[in-house]
Amino acid sequence: MSHQISADFIAERNRAAEAATTEDYQALSRQLGRRGIDAEAITNAVMAFSVAIPTWGVGTGGTRFARFPGPGEPRNIFDKIEDCATIHQLVRATATISPHFPWDKTSDPKALHEAAASRGLGFDAVNSNTFQDQPDQKLSYRFGSLSHVEARVRAQAIAHNLECIELGRKLGSKALTVWIGDGSNFAGQSNLTSAFDRYLDSMREIYGALPEDWRVFIEHKLYEPAFYSTVISDWGTSFAAALELGPKALCLVDLGHHAPNVNIEQIVARLTRFKKLAGFHFNDSKYGDDDLDTGSVEPFRLFLVFNELVDAKQRRAEGFAPAYMIDQSHNVTDPIESLIQSAIELQRAYAQALIVDRQALAAAQGANDALGAHLELKRAFTTDLSPLLATARLRTGGAIAPIETYRASNYRAHKTKERPPVAGTSAGIV
Ligand code: PSV
Ligand code: MN
């Protein structure tokens, strides 16, 4: 019988912290009340927030130099589901998981669906992988996949995406995320126009196989593994592809996939305006696609992204239904702790965006009061909403202090005994 943290253990830890949390929450409610904000409404919105956990995120990640495996790592998709369930149990904001095929491939999707459902988890978008070769694969993706110069390689990559849709259907998913590593490493290596045309032809076939109520998310990325050009390099290319393909094709924004200092919140505003925002792969970065923990480097930028999302939601922007997912590589932390904290940072950014006084902001903007408008955002961003987030967790059965509770539970030590290391485990991204 595999170890799980018991509800009693969480309740017992919560009892010790409940009085202080309630006191802090009441003080915060009074502070917000003076600003005309109903703390209860914000708490309810936070309680309803959910972000998908990437199955590859619960394994230890690495760089192209090395990977330092952690103890008790998940060995397969069922172990990953256990870890995802533990995260959700403590933080109550991660009710879905986003699988990656063929890493999570199973001959028995029903068993997978049941394993997740038994722990209260559902499936978000499924991710295809044509950026690596698999041991049993006939043709190599060394020089690309959906945009490869050879039709038979493209056909193999298309077939893999169709298989992902089939698996996703059985899991209850409603979207396919396609990120390709295709591109070139040398000027002249690839014809920039025909590579994109080939990609579009391939994507048309995948698009054609989407079930009626499915969507396909196109994920762009500036560089890596191709270092001179990538076929789907930026949101403009992604947008053009989504327009060509049709209404079921949308653009996914991975926060780490842009040139340094690009104004991501403005990209979000544009994609929303044209009904093409698919959703996010949340993470944070200092230099490139660092896949660091969400909100750990630039929490203000994260808040500004949510400011656009809340603005869109409140004015009921047409077609606005973004999917929230995390995409991180946990190289030096316990992935469960990182993912718990990332989910909290997302709730925080969301709640901060919810307490922006939008009338005052609009008035300042209309009066060309640049600093006044900025201060409206800063006032929301600098309000410490931690007691509200803790209260949301308490009310949904989670832990007031999830990371402390997780550590005290010795979950990882239990898993280290239960999960002896396997050679060549594919856990985590490198
Ligand atoms: C590529 O860098 C990416 O962001 C894509 O979403 C992949 O599916 C994921 O990372 C895992 O490698
Ligand atoms: Mn991503």
pLDDT tens for 51-108 read: 999 999 999 999 999 999 999 999 999 999 999 999 999 999 999 999 999 999 989 9
DSSP β-bridge partners for residue 215: 175
Report the amino acid identity of residue 259: A
Residue 328 CA, ligand 2 centroid: distance in Å: 8
Residue owning the nearest CA to atom 1 of ligand 1: 179
420 pLDDT tier (thresholds 50, 70, 90)? confident
Residue owning the nearest CA to atom 7 of ligand 1: 179
Per-residue pLDDT for 238 more than 70? Answer: yes
Per-residue pLDDT for 28 more than 80? Answer: yes
What pLDDT, in 10s, does the model give residues 157-175?
Answer: 999 999 999 999 999 999 9
Q: What are the two backbone dihedrals, phi and then psi, of residue 98, each rounded to the nearest 5 degrees?
A: -115, 105
Q: Where are the alpha helices (DSSP H) in 276-334?
A: 299-314
Q: Which residues line ligand 1 (CB under 6 A)?
A: 56, 127, 179, 219, 221, 254, 281, 289, 327, 429
- The whole-number pLDDT of residue 421 equals 76
What residues contact residue 102 under an 8 Å CB cut-off, 6+ apart? 129, 134, 160
What is the rounded CA–CA span in Å between residue 249 and residue 271?
A: 12
Q: What is the model's pTM?
A: 0.97
| Distances 111 to 77, 160, 238 between C-alpha atoms, Å | 11, 21, 35
Pocket test for ligand 1, best of 100, 146, 327, 328 (most atoms within 8 A of CB): 327
What is the rounded CA–CA span in Å between residue 382 and residue 254?
A: 25
Q: What are the two backbone dihedrals, phi and then psi, of residue 282, each rounded to the nearest 5 degrees?
A: -85, 140
Reference 98, options 179, 160, 209, 206; nearest CA is 179
What pLDDT, in 10s, does the model give residues 297-355?
Answer: 999 999 999 999 999 999 999 999 999 999 999 999 999 999 999 999 999 999 999 99
Report the amino acid identity of residue 166: E
Residue owning the nearest CA to atom 10 of ligand 1: 327
What is the rounded CA–CA span in Å between residue 363 and residue 373?
A: 8
- The whole-number pLDDT of residue 263 equals 98
SS3 178: strand
426 pLDDT tier (thresholds 50, 70, 90)? low
- The whole-number pLDDT of residue 427 equals 55
Atom of ligand 1 nearest to the CA of 254: 4
Residue owning the nearest CA to atom 12 of ligand 1: 429
Per-residue pLDDT for 413 more than 80? Answer: yes
Report the amino acid identity of residue 121: L
Atom of ligand 1 nearest to the CA of 224: 2
Per-residue pLDDT for 124 more than 90? Answer: yes
Paired tokens of 322 = 């973004």
- The whole-number pLDDT of residue 274 equals 98
Percent of the chain with pLDDT over 70: 98
Counting ligands in written order, the one closest to the CA of 62 is: 1
